[in-house]
Chain A
Amino acid sequence: MTADDSPLSINTKLARRVLVTFIRDELGRHGFTHAVVGLSGGIDSSLACHLAAEALGPDNVLALRMPYSGSSAESMDHAGLVIEQLKVRSLDVPITEMVTPLFDRFPDMSKVRQGNVMARTRMAILFDQSAAFNGLVIGTGNKTEILLGYTTLYGDSACAINPNGDLYKTQIRQLARAMGIPEVIIDKPPSADLWPGQTDEGELGTTYEQVDRLLYLLIDERAAPEAAVAAGFDASFVEETLARVRRNHYKRVMPPIAKISSRTVGYDFLYPRDWGT
């Protein structure tokens, strides 16, 4: 199978046009012309930053680098490449001095808890800077991580709009390549960089190529699990992936409100987010 024959292969020119228009229009509907992006040095945020810069102009985009003392120096350098390439505005806000007191207060805090604290601290800075910059926060999460729940709730998943969220990781790579994001960013192993040596694929126990093909089959093609097994996927991989998608659904929806009145937000008080715009 050549790359073009893959069902995950996308027309990058079309995707670029749609997503750039999406950012400009959705921000414009609400009267915004500026955006803030947390730039990690990874492919997802690099792509979001590229799309935002193209939609709004580089002067109207603020890229924030928020390193922790344990973050890899490479992440900062790669984020720097994107800032330099796009000529967007940038600001560095290291988070070490903010998160360390909390880590010290709970010395037995696990790596995952620490990672979540860092993700949520970055979220707080992003939203604060968005207010200062009079812009909105552009989300960077892709479809693979949204479906697998490989994200920190109210952390890196928090945003005003998300141009990346309906593209699988392997599709993000295609678009990133087409938009001229530095190869070094596209080719490196994806990592949340919350602790040294962490990689997405190490944590997920699969490759993005593999899991994207499975998710595409199950979600986009609405295939039954048995059909995925018949298509050559290992039965336990199919089962674990589906369980993971199900288990993390809470991250994709608003928390339930106990419906006690006759009209309740989310149940029978229904308005679009773009209400009145």
Chain B
Amino acid sequence: MPPFKLGLAQIDTQLGNVQHNLAKHLELIDAARKQGVELLAFPELSLTGYMLQDQAPSVACYPSADDKAFGPLLKASHDLDLLVGFVEVDERFRCYIAAAYLSAGEVVHIHRKVYLPTYGLFDEGRFFSPGETMRAFDTRFGRIGILICEEFWHASSPYLLWLDGADMMLFMSASPVRGLTNDDQLESVAWVERVNQAYASLFTVHIGHAVRVGFEDGLIFGGRATAFGPAGNLLASGPDFQEGLTVTEIDQDRVRQARARLPLLRDERPAWVERQLRQIQRPPAPGQSKLSR
């Protein structure tokens, strides 16, 4: 497979104004196309903004050609593959934080966010239903997995995608940055990067992270999209605190090289892990606490 150009769109959004945000998507798509980008990823909830609260059901989109937002996006996906974030409502009126991968005018994959942070400054579980599955899927750039923000703080998420065949992971976030110290970056920014870098290394995959920028009710979306190679090497990073388009070349041959050096995937033992998990989760026998075993 020849190398291809990945673009990470770093945008601000208007809360709940899908048409405004769509226009921004189309602008970025146009700019990316001019730079030869073949796959362009947008951040979490890129079509709606993040802090939706009770607005969520009213800004939902339907990933089909007759939807006002997805119609133009599907059309644009004839030129380059797209990953966008939106609110999805199912037939039983449950709302999800979702991501859609579009290519050649088709919806290739929908991912619904499984882990909804509902603690501290987050309140997603109050407004959204959790997704039920995490799957990799085939694209013209190989097999890809998508994770949305909080999901990649659970090590099980990229592990599952890895076992399901993902050689590239696309992360999308709208995470408020925080933690002012003496350092050059807010604390959480470096933390996120360490995590992404660790996953790229541990799973010997490419990782592209598309992030939001701007402010919502005083929460800061800091930007700085990143892409890491399968040796944990930083390939590219976006600007801090401003919109931008970060473009980097992804060469899947680097995955082959990394795995030749470090055959972690070959040596992984999912069946054994599964057996261990079953044993760990087995309830203790009556009268016997887990601690005494």
B187 to chain A: closest CB distance in Å? 11
Is A25 touching B55 in the complex (CB atoms < 8 A)?
A: no
Q: 1/0 per residue B153-166: CB within 8 Å of A?
A: 00000000000000
A193 to chain B: closest CB distance in Å? 28
Is B15 touching A22 in the complex (CB atoms < 8 A)?
A: no
CA distance A115 to B66 in the complex (A): 62
Query: Would you call A207 an interface residue if the criterion is a C-beta within 8 Å of the partner chain's C-beta atoms?
Result: no
Name A276's contact: one of B16, B183, B214, B218 (CB within 8 Å). Answer: B16
Is B183 touching A11 in the complex (CB atoms < 8 A)?
A: yes
B255 to chain A: closest CB distance in Å? 35
Is B54 touching A14 in the complex (CB atoms < 8 A)?
A: no
Query: Would you call A243 an interface residue if the criterion is a C-beta within 8 Å of the partner chain's C-beta atoms?
Result: no
A24 to chain B: closest CB distance in Å? 9
Question: Which of under 10, 10 to 19, 20 to 34, or 35 or more describes the interface residues of A?
Answer: 20 to 34
Given contacts A18-B241, A26-B215, A26-B218, contact A271 B55 (CB under 8 A): yes
CA distance A17 to B241 in the complex (A): 9
Is A15 touching B217 in the complex (CB atoms < 8 A)?
A: no
Is A276 touching B14 in the complex (CB atoms < 8 A)?
A: yes
Closest to B242 in A: A21
Question: Which of under 10, 10 to 19, 20 to 34, or 35 or more describes the interface residues of B?
Answer: 20 to 34
Name A277's contact: one of B14, B180, B241 (CB within 8 Å). Answer: B14
Query: Would you call A198 an interface residue if the criterion is a C-beta within 8 Å of the partner chain's C-beta atoms?
Result: no
| Listed residue (A10, A13, A29) with the most chain B CB atoms within 10 angstroms of its CB | A29
Query: Would you call B182 an interface residue if the criterion is a C-beta within 8 Å of the partner chain's C-beta atoms?
Result: yes
Query: Would you call A273 an interface residue if the criterion is a C-beta within 8 Å of the partner chain's C-beta atoms?
Result: yes
Query: Would you call B17 an interface residue if the criterion is a C-beta within 8 Å of the partner chain's C-beta atoms?
Result: yes
Given contacts A11-B180, A18-B241, contact A272 B51 (CB under 8 A): yes
| Listed residue (A13, A17, A21, A26) with the most chain B CB atoms within 10 angstroms of its CB | A21
Given contacts A275-B55, A276-B15, A276-B16, contact A14 B217 (CB under 8 A): no
Q: Which of A155-186 contact B (CB under 8 A)?
A: 161, 166-167, 171
A2 to chain B: closest CB distance in Å? 11
Name B220's contact: one of A22, A167, A271, A272 (CB within 8 Å). Answer: A22
Is A275 touching B16 in the complex (CB atoms < 8 A)?
A: yes
Binding site secondary structure of chain B: loop
For B15, the chain A residues whose CB sits under 8 A away are 272, 274-277
Query: Would you call B185 an interface residue if the criterion is a C-beta within 8 Å of the partner chain's C-beta atoms?
Result: yes
CA distance A11 to B16 in the complex (A): 34
For B184, the chain A residues whose CB sits under 8 A away are 11, 13-14
For B16, the chain A residues whose CB sits under 8 A away are 275-276
Name A274's contact: one of B54, B217, B241 (CB within 8 Å). Answer: B217
A202 to chain B: closest CB distance in Å? 29
Is A10 touching B241 in the complex (CB atoms < 8 A)?
A: no
CA distance A13 to B180 in the complex (A): 11
For B55, the chain A residues whose CB sits under 8 A away are 271, 275
A165 to chain B: closest CB distance in Å? 9
Query: Would you call A9 an interface residue if the criterion is a C-beta within 8 Å of the partner chain's C-beta atoms?
Result: yes
Is B241 touching A21 in the complex (CB atoms < 8 A)?
A: yes
Query: Would you call A269 an interface residue if the criterion is a C-beta within 8 Å of the partner chain's C-beta atoms?
Result: yes
Query: Would you call B216 an interface residue if the criterion is a C-beta within 8 Å of the partner chain's C-beta atoms?
Result: yes
Query: Would you call B186 an interface residue if the criterion is a C-beta within 8 Å of the partner chain's C-beta atoms?
Result: yes
Query: Would you call A270 an interface residue if the criterion is a C-beta within 8 Å of the partner chain's C-beta atoms?
Result: yes
Closest to A10 in B: B180
Q: 1/0 per residue B210-248: CB within 8 Å of A?
A: 000011111010000000000000000000110000000
Closest to A166 in B: B180
Closest to B16 in A: A276
B228 to chain A: closest CB distance in Å? 23
For B183, the chain A residues whose CB sits under 8 A away are 11, 14
Is A272 touching B181 in the complex (CB atoms < 8 A)?
A: no
CA distance A152 to B3 in the complex (A): 62
Query: Would you call B53 an interface residue if the criterion is a C-beta within 8 Å of the partner chain's C-beta atoms?
Result: yes
Is B182 touching A271 in the complex (CB atoms < 8 A)?
A: no
Is A14 touching B215 in the complex (CB atoms < 8 A)?
A: no
For A273, the chain B residues whose CB sits under 8 A away are 217
Closest to B182 in A: A9
Name B54's contact: one of A11, A13, A26, A269 (CB within 8 Å). Answer: A269
Closest to A11 in B: B182
Closest to A25 in B: B215
Is A271 touching B54 in the complex (CB atoms < 8 A)?
A: yes
B177 to chain A: closest CB distance in Å? 9
| Listed residue (A13, A269, A270) with the most chain B CB atoms within 10 angstroms of its CB | A270
For A270, the chain B residues whose CB sits under 8 A away are 53-54, 126
Q: Which 3 A-B pairs have the closest CB atoms?
A: A270-B53, A272-B51, A25-B215
Q: List 27 A-B contacts (CB under 8 A).
A: A4-B182, A10-B180, A10-B181, A11-B181, A13-B184, A18-B180, A18-B241, A21-B215, A22-B220, A25-B215, A26-B215, A161-B218, A167-B180, A269-B54, A270-B53, A270-B126, A271-B53, A271-B55, A272-B51, A272-B53, A272-B216, A273-B217, A275-B15, A275-B55, A276-B16, A276-B17, A277-B14
Using a CB–CB cutoff of 8 Å, the interface residues on chain B facing chain A are: 12, 14-17, 51-55, 126, 180-186, 214-218, 220, 240-241
Q: A13-B184, A275-B15 are in contact. List 9 more A-B contacts (CB 8 A).
A: A11-B184, A14-B180, A18-B180, A18-B241, A161-B218, A167-B180, A272-B15, A272-B53, A273-B217
